[in-house]
Amino acid sequence: MNQSWVARRVRRSFPLSAAVLALGAQLSAASAEDVIRFGAPLPITGALAPEAVKQQQGYDLWAEQANKAGGVSVGGKKYKVQIVYTDYQSNTPRAVQATEQMISQDNVNFMFGAFGSGAAKAASTVSEKYKVPTLAATASSSQVYDQGYKYLFGTFTPNDTLTTPLTKIIKTKVPDVKKVAILARNDLFPLAIAQEMEKSAKAEGYEVVYSEKYSIGTLDHSAALSQIKSLAPQWIFVTGYTNDLLLVRKQMVDQQMKAPVVTMIAGPAYQEFIDALGPAAENVSSAAWWHPAEQYDGKDIFGTTANFVKLFKAKYNSEPDYGQASAALCGALFQIAIEKAGSLDRDKVRDELAKLDVVTFFGPVKFGANGQINSLDPPVFQIQGGKPVVLFPQAIKQGDLKIGVN
Amino acid sequence: MQAAQILINALVLGCLYACIAIGFSLVWGVLNVINLIHGSFIVLGAYLAFGLYNALHIPPWYAVIVAAPLFFVLGYLLQRLVLNRVITAPVLVTLTLTFGLDLILNNAMIYFFKADYRKLTLTPSLGSVSIFDVVVPVDRLIATAAALALTGLLYLLLRRSRIGRAIVAVRLDRDAAVLMGVNVPSIYAIAFGLGAALAGCAGVLMALIFPISPLTSSAYLGKAFVVCVLGGLGSVSGALAGGLLLALVEGVGSTFLGPSHATTLSFVLLIIFLVLRPQGLVGRKGFE
C-alpha cells in the first residue's frame, strides 16, 4: 500500500523532475562555457590553516576584481572566473589526491599550487602528468623547480635571494659585526633560510658562533637564548613563524639580550607581529618576497602596488603581506597569459606563461627556464617607529638601517 | 654563571608547566577522564586576560579572580550536563567526547578570535630582575608564585575541606564513597569545575608569557600530558614534581645537545617512565 503510494507519486512527478533536471543540465552547460575554473588545493583546516586563509584572500580578491571588470577576455569573449577550493587538511598526501580530483573530476582549467614548497612539489607531479599549467604562490625552495617540469611556475625567488642582500647591507653598514648566531625552527622553509644565511655569513667572512635548530611547538627558548647571550654575537638571526618569533623576541627582552643587529624571518613581514610586540619589534630587520611599501606601476589588473594595497584593505580591513600578494599575483598572471593566448588551451597558456616579461604590482615578472621567477629583488626591511621601512632594493628604498636592538 | 641561569630558567619554567598541568592532573586522577579540552580552556583563559587588559586595563593577576569562578561554572555545567552521561563508560568514550568538545571550542575560538597570534603586552612592561648575572623576568616570577599558590590552595582544599575529603574519597574508592553517602555525580562535577578553573587561571597567567592563539592549545595539552605522566597522578605535588623534572631535562638537554633535541629527550624520558615507573615520580600505585 505504502509502496504503491510512493510509486504513484514518483510516476506523477517524474515528467516534472525530468524537466527540472534537463533545465539544470542546460544551465550548467551554459555556465560551464562562460566560466574559467581554477583549482586551489589549500590546507584550510589543520596546523597550516592561517596560511590557507591568507592565500584564499589573495585568490578571492583577484577573482572579485576580474569578475567586476566583466571577466577574463578570451578571443574577444568575456569569461567569468571561478575558484574551486579543496581542503587538504594540512596533509601533503591529501594535497596530491585533491589535485588529482580537481583535474580529473572537477574539470578545472588551470591550477594554483598547494601551500609551501613541500606540498607544492608533491602536488605538481599530478598537474604535470595531466599537463595543467600550475602557478605556485608560496613555493621558494629551488628543489621544487629542479624536476624538469614544463607546466609548473612559481612567484617566489630562491631562498638565498633573501639572505644575500641582507648580509651585504650589514657588511657595509655595521662593520663591528664579527660573530653571528643562528637559531632556526626545524621545519622546511625556516631551516632552508637558516642554511642560506649560514652560507651567506660565511661567504662574507663572519664567524658563525651558534647554529642550532629548535623543534616545532617549542614553548620555551630560554636555554638556547642564555647560551647565545654568553657567546655575545653582534648579529642574532632567528627563523620561524610568527608564534615562535614572538616568543623568542619576548624572551630576548626578558633576558636583557642586546645586539647591534637582530634579524627575524618571516614574522616581521606580518602586521600582527608588529602589533603584538609593540616597542620590542623596534629595529628588528627582515626580508620578504614582497612588501606593501613597494612602489611598482604594473600592467596587470591591479596596476600599482598602492592600488593593490588599497583594494586589499577595503576588502579585508588589514594590511596585505607577501603571501596574500603572491596569491593575488598568480591569478593576475593567469589572466595576462590567458588573454595573450586568446584561448583556454592549456598548452597555449603554458607557453604564454613561459614567455611572460611584465611589470606587475608585485614587481617585474619573468620566469626562468625551470619555471621559478628570476626577475625579482626581494626587499630587505626593518621595523622603525612601529612601521616597516624598506632598505633595499635601491629603487624603492625608504630609509637607512638603524643599528641596535635592545 | 651560565649554569645558574639555566637552573633558574628551568625552575621558573617548571612552575609554569605545573600550572598548566595541575587541572588536567586533578581531572584525570579523580574522574579517570583524559580531558582533551584542557588546552583550549587554557587558551580561552588567555583570551579572557587579553580582553580584560585591553578593554578595562585589568592586569592578569586580578583577572584570575574573574576567571576562576567563571571557568568553575563552565566546567561544572559541562560535567553535569554532558560528561556525566558517559562517565561510567570505558575511558575511550570520554576521551572521544572531550576530543569532540575540544574541536568545537577550538574552532569556535578560531571563528570568533581568528587564528592570528596576539600578545598581552603590559605598559609599562614588568621587566626583569637580575641577581649577579642571573636574569629572571618578573612576569614569569608572578606566574610562578601564582602557580605555587594555586597548588597550595588545591592541596589545602583536598586535605582540609569536607568537599576535598569527598573528592579524595571518590578518587580512592568510588563504591565505598557512595556507601558513605557521598553524592558522586556532584563531586565529579565539582572536581571537573575545579580542573576547568585551574586551566582558566593558568591561561590568564600564560597570557603574560606566551603568544595567544587557538592554535597553541595542543602545545599546552601536550605539556600537561607529559607532566602528569612524569609527576604521577593522585597527588597534588605530582604536577609540581613533573613540571620541574620536565623543565630541567629540557633546559639541560637544550644546552648540551641543542634545542631541537630538548623535545626528543623529554619524550624519551616519558617512555622510560611509562615502562619503568608508570605511577610517576610521586604518584601512588594504582593511579597510573
Position A29 scores a pLDDT of 42
Whether B9 and A222 lie within 8 Å, measured CB to CB: yes
Minimum mean pLDDT range among A102-111, A298-307, B244-253:
B244-253
Conformational region of residue A256, where left means phi above 0, alpha means psi within -120 to 50, and beta covers everything else: left
* Chain A residues within an 8 Å CB radius of B254: 223-224
Q: Please tell me the distance from the alpha carbon of residue B226 to that of residue B240, in angstroms, as a whole number.
A: 12
pLDDT digits (tens, 9 = 90+) for B49-86: 999 999 998 988 889 899 999 999 999 999 999 988 88
For helices B2-31 and A222-231, what crossing angle results, to 10°?
Answer: 180
Whether B260 and A186 lie within 8 Å, measured CB to CB: yes
The answer to whether residue B130 neighbours chain A at the CB level (below 8 Å) is yes
Instruction: Tell me if B87 sits within 8 A of B94, measured CB to CB.
Output: yes
C-alpha cell of residue A86: 579543496
The answer as to whether B31 is a domain residue is yes
Q: Please tell me the distance from the alpha carbon of residue A209 to that of residue A182, in angstroms, as a whole number.
A: 8
The answer as to whether B79 is a domain residue is yes
Closest by CA position to A348, among listed A106, A175, A151, A198: A151
Minimum mean pLDDT range among A106-115, A283-292, A386-395, B274-283:
B274-283
Q: Kindly indicate the confidence band of residue A351, based on its pLDDT and cuts at 50, 70 and 90.
A: very high
Position A3 scores a pLDDT of 47
Segment A69-81 shows an average pLDDT of: 92
SS3 assignment for chain A:
CHHHHHHHHHHHHHHHHHHHHHHHHHHHHHHHHCEEEEEEEECCCCCCHHHHHHHHHHHHHHHHHHHHCCCEEECCEEEEEEEEEEECCCCHHHHHHHHHHHHHCCCCCEEECCCHHHHHHHHHHHHHHCCCCEEECCCCCHHHCCCCCCCEEECCCCCHHHHHHHHHHHHHHCCCCCEEEEEEECCHHHHHHHHHHHHHHHHCCCEEEEEEEECCCCCCCHHHHHHHHHHCCCEEEEECCHHHHHHHHHHHHHCCCCECEEEEECHHHCHHHHHHHHHHHCCCEEECCCCCCCCCECCCCCCEHHHHHHHHHHHHCCCCCHHHHHHHHHHHHHHHHHHHHCCCCHHHHHHHHHHCCEEECCEEECECCCCEECCCCCCEEEEECCEEEEEECHHHCCCCCCCCEC
Instruction: Tell me if A37 sits within 8 A of A84, measured CB to CB.
Output: yes
Give the other-Cβ count within 10 Å of A297's Cβ: 12
Of B210, B215, B259, the CB nearest to A224: B259
Position A349 scores a pLDDT of 96
Position A17 scores a pLDDT of 47
Q: What is the mean pLDDT of chain B?
A: 87
The answer as to whether B121 is a domain residue is no
Segment B231-236 shows an average pLDDT of: 75
Residue of A nearest to B116 (CA): A272
Whether B218 and A217 lie within 8 Å, measured CB to CB: yes
Over 90: is that where the pLDDT of A396 sits?
no
Instruction: Tell me if A288 sits within 8 A of A239, measured CB to CB.
Output: no
Q: Please tell me the distance from the alpha carbon of residue A92 to that of residue A96, in angstroms, as a whole number.
A: 7
Over 70: is that where the pLDDT of B20 sits?
yes
Position A23 scores a pLDDT of 45
Segment B135-142 shows an average pLDDT of: 87
Give the other-Cβ count within 10 Å of A35's Cβ: 17
Position B286 scores a pLDDT of 47
Whether A226 and B218 lie within 8 Å, measured CB to CB: no
Of A222, A243, A256, the CB nearest to B13: A222
The answer to whether residue B118 neighbours chain A at the CB level (below 8 Å) is yes
Whether A223 and B116 lie within 8 Å, measured CB to CB: no
Position A55 scores a pLDDT of 94
Segment A71-96 shows an average pLDDT of: 92
ipTM above 0.85, yes or no: no
Over 60: is that where the pLDDT of B182 sits?
yes
pLDDT digits (tens, 9 = 90+) for A184-194: 998 878 888 99
- Split into its structural domains, chain B has a count of 1
Closest by CA position to B85, among listed B94, B95, B75: B94
User: In a 3-state reduction of DSSP, which class is residue B131?
Assistant: strand
- Chain B residues 154-213 with a CB less than 8 Å from chain A: 209-211, 213
Segment A305-325 shows an average pLDDT of: 93
Q: Kindly indicate the confidence band of residue A25, based on its pLDDT and cuts at 50, 70 and 90.
A: very low
Burial (0-12, 13-18, 19+ Cβ within 10 Å), A350: buried
Burial (0-12, 13-18, 19+ Cβ within 10 Å), B123: exposed
Alpha carbon of A274: minimum distance to chain B alpha carbons (Å): 10
Position A19 scores a pLDDT of 47
The answer to whether residue B9 neighbours chain A at the CB level (below 8 Å) is yes
Q: Which residues of A41-62 are buried (b: 16+ CB within 10 A; e: fewer)?
A: bbbbbeebbbbbbbbbbbbbbb
The answer as to whether B123 is a domain residue is no
The answer as to whether B119 is a domain residue is no
* Chain A residues within an 8 Å CB radius of B140: 254
The answer to whether residue B5 neighbours chain A at the CB level (below 8 Å) is yes
Chains A, B: CB contacts within 8 A come to 107
Position A8 scores a pLDDT of 52
Residue A110 phi, psi dihedral angles, 5° rounding? -140, 165
Comparison of pLDDT for B235 and B122, the residue scoring more = B122
Of A49, A230, A256, the CB nearest to B128: A256
* Chain B residues within an 8 Å CB radius of A214: 259-260, 262
The answer to whether residue B255 neighbours chain A at the CB level (below 8 Å) is yes
Q: Kindly indicate the confidence band of residue A33, based on its pLDDT and cuts at 50, 70 and 90.
A: low
Q: Which of A51, A183, A219 to mutate to test the interface with B (most CBs of B within 10 A)?
A: A219
pTM of the model: 0.79
Whether A224 and B254 lie within 8 Å, measured CB to CB: yes
Residue of B nearest to A279 (CA): B121
* Chain B residues within an 8 Å CB radius of A272: 116-118
Segment B213-227 shows an average pLDDT of: 89
Write down all domains in chain A, each with its CATH number in brackets: 34-157+293-365 (3.40.50.2300), 160-288+380-396 (3.40.50.2300)
Over 70: is that where the pLDDT of B244 sits?
yes
pLDDT digits (tens, 9 = 90+) for A196-251: 999 999 998 999 999 999 988 788 898 899 899 999 999 999 999 888 899 999 99
Q: Kindly indicate the confidence band of residue A313, based on its pLDDT and cuts at 50, 70 and 90.
A: very high
- Chain A residues 270-329 with a CB less than 8 Å from chain B: 272-273, 275-278, 280
pLDDT digits (tens, 9 = 90+) for B106-119: 889 988 887 778 88
Domain span including residue B144: 2-114+128-276
The answer as to whether B197 is a domain residue is yes
Minimum mean pLDDT range among A9-18, A375-384, B222-231:
A9-18
- The CATH number for B143's domain is 1.10.3470
- Chain A residues 216-255 with a CB less than 8 Å from chain B: 217-224, 226-227, 230, 242-243, 246-247, 250-251, 253-255
Question: What is the share, in percent, of chain A residues with pLDDT greater than 70?
Answer: 92
Whether A217 and B9 lie within 8 Å, measured CB to CB: no
